Structure 1
Amino acid sequence: MAVANLSPEQAIRTEMRRQHNNRRAVRIWLGFVLLALFCLVLVGGATRLTNSGLSITEWKPIHGVIPPLNAAEWEEEFKLYQRIPEFRQLNSDMTVDQFKNIFWWEWAHRLIARGIGVIFALPLIFFWVTGRIEKRLRWPLAGILALGGLQGFIGWWMVSSGLSARTDVSQYRLATHLVMACLIFASCMWIMRGLSPHSDDPAPTKNSYRWAAAIAIFSLFQIYLGALVAGLDAGFTYNTWPLMDGAVVPGDLFIQQPFWINLFENPKTVQFIHRLGAYTLFALALVNMVIALRAASSTTHARRAVVLFALIAIQAAIGITTLLLEVPLHWGLLHQAGALVVFGFAVANWRGYYGEYPRATVIAERD
């Protein structure tokens, strides 16, 4: 039936149904992107924990998809690795077979990153050309794609820091790389949540959205601190809790000069600040939950506050266990996964206070 032959009410229902279907399709697409990003971050964490990040010493955005296919190509790749300080100083007795173990982690990390570019760009073009993406979201989504391209450059910038003078990558660049990944993840989550149905429940208090924003932003800051801990291998030291180095507040936190450099380059100081960040995030989530439950315990906002606190409490327990066990691979990855789950839920919770994106309606003209 032609739109022009519909009554205004029928035209509105038809348009709303079309928008509903389009939004559902876009949400499903962004859900797949979020899942892929989640996997990418985990493989990146495994790459770090297995010391595999410097195994591929060249950046080949296209040709790099193809791994070595025969013994000669493996020898060629291994010779490139033998040129860097990590091999000469730490792995000089490594064999080709041992090299393959670290190579595959880094190759998989880069392959997933390239794959995300494809599963983001191609559907975006399709949805854009066919008019399934609302005008308000076209350029924000294009901006996310641009951030993904920038992230590729940041990744190589990070790797290049460990190819000449260092035996590992710069913790500053590692933290930048992880934070950018989280910003891309948060952007997709924000848009997907805005396209999802929302309840009509009022916010528990007029400041609830500020609490939600503070928790989401501080979650990202805590991830940044965790990246510094990973970059300095600080999690492999001072593996006691609740005391650190035998004290509530350990000594020698500002032993380096100038004093502020300890915040970024002293493993002891960085780990201690990461602990303080965890306590702060736990307290913010607890206060937010108590306020929400006291103000309106039956609303969806209050229930989300409870879930958010529970996720942060579980993540804290995982973090403590990971520290006490001296960061085994599986616990380290679980801790990183928990951080992303907390951050993603915190962003979705924050976005939930702004309601669903307004829907446009079309009223057909009568013949």
Structure 2
Amino acid sequence: MNRFGNPDRNRAVAVWLFATAALVFLMVVVGGVTRLTGSGLSITEWKPIMGAIPPLNDAQWAQAFDKYKQIPQYAQVNAGMTLGEFQGIFWWEWLHRLIGRLIGLVFGLPLVVFLLCRAAPPRSVFRQWAMPDRLIWRCVVLLALGGLQGLIGWWMVSSGLSERVSVAPERLATHLGLAFVLFAGLIWTGLEAWNGEDHGRPPSGWARGATLLVCLVFLQCLLGALVAGGHAGLVYTDWPLMNGAVLPPADWSLGVGAFLHDQALTQFNHRLVAYGLLIAVSIYAFQAWRWRVAEGMGAGAFILAGVVWMQALLGIVTLIHAVPLWLGVLHQAGAAVVLAAATANLWVVLRAQPRIFISGPRSMGR
């Protein structure tokens, strides 16, 4: 609603932001397929503009295949691959990059339109599409982060073109982490555009708790990326122990790098934070039900707890089946869903109006 009535709210802007978030979610899913099929290194060049055009004839396909044959992944993993098999992995990486370009257009062009509408006369029909003042800098930051994501994507791919047969795990974690920052930022800003500015009075304890949960979810996403980048989900596929031990021997000769590259340690850390997150979100949801602090907070807490538990169970099933493609992709998509729920929950908490109790317990932190 922004028919000259509430200049702080624009639901057209909100729909645009949510649509862009949906595209980012799609890119995360396709990125998961790209990683699990070993397709990420099939395109060995970074051409932001001309790279949108795939090979169009036999000669161009042969040239692209010849370039792929020059990298270690072909020699050590895919030697003898046919052109048809190469095309199979090429199209996944090409689609992943195409969605990235599409996100740039879907976000960038409407942003210009919404900003130009601000220059329209106050009673003009175009004025209703003007972006609220307080959202401008947020959208500009999101646009800049989107551009940075493209650079980081190539930085990630380049790590697997000379000395490795896959991308560096820490670069994969950086790439996925920034995608999740963009995803959460789009959701948060979309909620702000849909509802307008509102200064609630959240109980301080609940605000801290909701913030902690967002941080734990994001950390768990990064640890999951390290597991994926190091192919650590393909080893120690028993649960709850790891090859019959709590923590199998780790290669500590790597020093601090063991936390990034050792398969046993990265999987152990991913499991450990998962347990901590399960405990924290369960306590949070129980307390939200018990104290009934503010309208809407209970629902948000229970939804978050539900998706976290579902994601944990999915992670166990994915692990014990040695990460089949469909389960691996579903688990990565689940991580995005959990982050969306945690982000929305924090947004609700920060806008909450505490209940006034006549008797009984008072809200946490008050």
| CA distance, structure 2, for counterparts of residue 306 and residue 269 of structure 1 | 31
The reply on whether 1:36 has 2:23 as its aligned counterpart is yes
The reply on whether 1:127 has 2:124 as its aligned counterpart is no
**Conservation of the 8 A alpha-carbon contact between 1:289 and 1:302:** yes
Offset at 1:112?
A: 0.2
| CA distance, structure 1, for counterparts of residue 148 and residue 139 of structure 2 | 14
The reply on whether 1:315 has 2:319 as its aligned counterpart is no
User: Which residue in the other structure is 1:362 paired with?
Assistant: none
Q: Deviations over 1:218-243 (max 9, x none)?
A: 11100000000000000011111112
Counterpart of 1:103 in structure 2: which amino acid?
Answer: F
User: Which residue in the other structure is 2:184 paired with?
Assistant: 186
Offset at 1:244?
A: 1.3
User: Which residue in the other structure is 2:78 paired with?
Assistant: 91
Offset at 1:104?
A: 0.2
The reply on whether 1:337 has 2:326 as its aligned counterpart is no
User: Which residue in the other structure is 1:53 paired with?
Assistant: 40
Overall identity of the aligned pairs, in %: 43
Counterpart of 2:249 in structure 1: which amino acid?
Answer: D
Offset at 1:135?
A: 1.5
User: Which residue in the other structure is 1:163 paired with?
Assistant: 161
| CA distance, structure 1, for counterparts of residue 255 and residue 141 of structure 2 | 38
Q: Secondary structure at the match of 1:286?
A: helix
Q: 1:109 aligns with which of 81, 87, 96?
A: 96
| CA distance, structure 1, for counterparts of residue 177 and residue 293 of structure 2 | 34
| CA distance, structure 1, for counterparts of residue 144 and residue 293 of structure 2 | 41
Superposed, 1:213-292 pairs within 5 Å as 213-247=211-245, 249-253=246-250, 255-292=251-288
Offset at 1:15?
A: 3.2
- Unaligned 5+ residue runs, structure 2? 119-129, 353-366
Q: 2:302 aligns with which of 293, 301, 306?
A: 306
Q: Deviations over 1:196-251 (max 9, x none)?
A: 33999975x4311111111111111000000000000000111111121112x223
| CA distance, structure 2, for counterparts of residue 39 and residue 29 of structure 1 | 15
Counterpart of 1:126 in structure 2: which amino acid?
Answer: V
**Conservation of the 8 A alpha-carbon contact between 2:177 and 2:221:** yes
Offset at 1:260?
A: 2.8
Q: Which moved more, 1:66-75 or 1:193-202?
A: 193-202
Q: Secondary structure at the match of 1:126?
A: helix
Offset at 1:94?
A: 0.3
The reply on whether 1:81 has 2:78 as its aligned counterpart is no
| CA distance, structure 1, for counterparts of residue 333 and residue 41 of structure 2 | 22
**Closer, same or farther in 2 for the Cα pair 1:171/1:14, shift >3 Å?**
closer
Q: Which structure carries more relative contact order (alpha carbon 8 Å, separation 6+)?
A: 1
| CA distance, structure 1, for counterparts of residue 59 and residue 115 of structure 2 | 45
The reply on whether 1:140 has 2:138 as its aligned counterpart is yes
User: Which residue in the other structure is 1:212 paired with?
Assistant: 210
Counterpart of 1:348 in structure 2: which amino acid?
Answer: A
**Conservation of the 8 A alpha-carbon contact between 1:201 and 1:301:** no
**Conservation of the 8 A alpha-carbon contact between 2:201 and 2:351:** no
**Conservation of the 8 A alpha-carbon contact between 1:27 and 1:195:** yes
Q: Deviations over 1:297-356 (max 9, x none)?
A: 773101110110001000001101100111000000100011000001101111222339
Q: Secondary structure at the match of 1:195?
A: helix
**Conservation of the 8 A alpha-carbon contact between 1:194 and 1:352:** no
User: Which residue in the other structure is 2:13 paired with?
Assistant: 26
TM-score by length of 2: 0.89
User: Which residue in the other structure is 2:361 paired with?
Assistant: none
Runs (4+) of structure 1 exceeding 6 A deviation are 198-202
> May I ask how many residue pairs the two structures share in their alignment?
339
Provide the aligned C-alpha RMSD in A. Answer: 1.9
Q: Secondary structure at the match of 2:148?
A: helix
TM-score by length of 1: 0.88
Offset at 1:18?
A: 6.2
Q: Secondary structure at the match of 1:168?
A: coil
The reply on whether 1:16 has 2:13 as its aligned counterpart is no
Q: Secondary structure at the match of 1:54?
A: coil
- Unaligned 5+ residue runs, structure 1? 1-12, 357-367
**Closer, same or farther in 2 for the Cα pair 1:259/1:19, shift >3 Å?**
closer
User: Which residue in the other structure is 1:5 paired with?
Assistant: none
